């Protein structure tokens, strides 16, 4: 099998942990001897063992006393450079050196300054053959949330909304009216399990009274983020329940009451999108879905602070309404989701 085959297997393994390892990257590791996989593993949860020790452990679990000799003959495949620093776990590069792995094949170098190139250097200095840059672009896209946080000092930002066939986003009268269908809703709940946080504004919180949880998909709830400058959302609304950690950005107070975190910000009417993005970076929130309303989405679009947009277009039309946001990006993919069309945009302007 080719190096590309095994790196793709690393990505398959790593994807099993989507939503569970942030702010770390998703990493898989495959250990091969004579064209056969003898062990594999992935980073399953933040703060726990990385992919490399899990894969090495799998070799010992399977081969026992033969493991040490097999590892000396092995090629280890990892989609991201093995870490070279002590964090919550020991350096993975040291683990490969300890077991005298014969060869290491890597997808990406790690952009984090504490690792970047240092893991490769440790391996090479120990006499291990190193190959890097295999499926480099594919691996970077796979860990785009991690790369964005490290390189741009902000979270990976996903805009999401639904619009009617004739381009309306919400009612003029300020009452709730559902646009997309049941399958679109279920998919949106799956997305919530995959990202760190979900953001809405005050009007959406009041009018729609959303839970912002993943009720229709198995997985964790995202951190709920609400922009409520003057704390006008009633405490009886769902965002104040105990189903998920909730952060309220406001100009009134900073406080923590059970799972509700109030964060006071100054002059929220100036550069709000930039302030929110930087605050989330400081909080190690690696990815966020922004669901609205129209004004919040427009501010992130106007500031060019977005990476993906996921837009459901209904087959139904309204006689009137608030126009949906205007997006300047390239359509990456269009999919039919029940009676709705899903358009996936990517922001090429930032590249």
Q: Span 217-237, mean pLDDT?
A: 97
The helix (run of H) or strand (run of E) holding residue 190 is helix 182-194
Residue 9 is assigned to a ligand binding site? no
Residue 192 is assigned to a ligand binding site? yes
Q: Would you state the pLDDT for residue 177?
A: 86
Residue 10 is assigned to a ligand binding site? no
Is residue 148 within 8 A of residue 25, CB to CB? The reply is no
The structural architecture, per CATH, of the domain 154-346 is 3-Layer(aba) Sandwich (3.40)
pLDDT-derived band at 351, boundaries 50, 70, 90: very low
52 given a catalytic annotation = yes
Domain boundaries, the chain: 3-148, 154-346
Which of 161, 192, 194, 195 minimizes the C-alpha distance to 280?
A: 195
pTM of the full structure: 0.93
Q: Which CATH number fits domain 3-148: 3.30.420.40, 3.40.50.720, 3.40.140.10, 3.40.50.1980?
A: 3.40.140.10
Question: pLDDT by residue (tens digit) across 273-310?
Answer: 999 999 999 999 999 999 988 999 999 999 999 999 99
> 189-198 burial string, b = 16+ CB within 10 Å, else e?
bebbbbbbbb
Residue 162 is assigned to a ligand binding site? yes
Q: Would you state the pLDDT for residue 176?
A: 83
Q: What whole-number distance in Å separates Cα of residue 86 and Cα of residue 144?
A: 24
Mean pLDDT of the chain: 94
How many Cβ atoms are within 10 Å of 81's Cβ, its own excluded? 27
End-to-end CA distance of the chain: 33
Query: H/E/C letters for each residue in 262-299?
Result: EEECCCCCCCHHHHHHHHHHHCCCCEEEEEECHHHHHH
Residue 350 is assigned to a ligand binding site? no
121: phi > 0 → left, psi -120 to 50 → alpha, else beta; which?
alpha
Phi, psi of 3 (to 5 degrees): -55, -40
Catalytic residue among 4, 12, 52, 308: 52
Question: pLDDT by residue (tens digit) across 21-76?
Answer: 999 999 999 999 999 999 999 999 999 999 999 999 999 999 999 999 999 999 99
Q: How far is CA 263 from CA 148, 210, 243, 250, 268, in A?
A: 24, 21, 19, 6, 12
Question: pLDDT by residue (tens digit) across 247-269?
Answer: 999 999 999 999 999 999 999 99
- Name, in order, each residue with C-beta under 8 angstroms of 96's C-beta and a sequence gap of 6 or more: 52, 76, 82, 104, 123, 126, 128
Q: What whole-number distance in Å separates Cα of residue 23 and Cα of residue 248?
A: 21
Is residue 109 within 8 A of residue 136, CB to CB? The reply is no
């Amino acid at each position: 099998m080719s190096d590309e085959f095994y790196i793709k297997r690393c990505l398959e393994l790593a994807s099993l942990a989507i939503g569970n390892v942030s702010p770390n990257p998703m990493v898989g590791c495959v250990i091969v001897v004579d064209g056969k996989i003898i062990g594999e593993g992935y980073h399953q949860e933040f703060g726990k063992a990385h992919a490399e020790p899990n894969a090495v452990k799998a070799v010992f679990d399977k081969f026992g006393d033969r493991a040490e000799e097999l590892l000396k003959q092995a090629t280890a495949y990892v989609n991201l450079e093995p870490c070279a620093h002590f964090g919550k776990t020991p350096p993975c590069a040291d683990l490969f050196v300890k077991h005298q792995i014969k060869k290491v094949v890597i997808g990406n170098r790690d952009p984090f300054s504490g690792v970047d190139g240092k893991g490769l250097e440790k391996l090479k200095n120990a006499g291990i053959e190193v190959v890097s840059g295999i499926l480099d672009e594919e691996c970077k896209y796979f860990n785009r949330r991690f790369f964005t946080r490290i390189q741009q000092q902000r979270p990976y930002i996903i805009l999401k909304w639904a619009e009617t066939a004739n381009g309306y986003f919400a009612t003029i009268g300020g009452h709730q009216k559902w646009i997309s269908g049941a399958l679109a809703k279920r998919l949106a709940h799956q997305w919530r399990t995959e990202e760190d946080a979900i953001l809405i504004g005050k009007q959406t919180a009041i009018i729609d009274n959303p839970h912002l949880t993943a009720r229709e998909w198995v997985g964790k709830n995202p951190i709920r983020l609400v922009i409520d400058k003057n704390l006008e959302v009633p405490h009886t609304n769902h965002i104040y329940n105990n189903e998920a950690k909730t952060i309220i950005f406001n100009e009134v107070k900073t406080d923590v009451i059970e799972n509700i975190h109030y964060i006071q910000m100054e002059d929220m009417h100036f550069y709000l999108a930039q302030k929110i993005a930087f605050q989330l970076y400081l909080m190690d929130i690696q990815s966020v879905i922004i669901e609205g309303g129209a004004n919040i989405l427009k501010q992130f679009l106007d500031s060019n602070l977005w990476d993906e947009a996921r837009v459901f277009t209904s087959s139904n039309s309204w006689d009137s309404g608030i126009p949906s946001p205007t997006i300047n990006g390239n359509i990456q993919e269009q999919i039919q989701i029940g009676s709705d069309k899903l358009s996936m945009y990517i922001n090429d302007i930032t590249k």
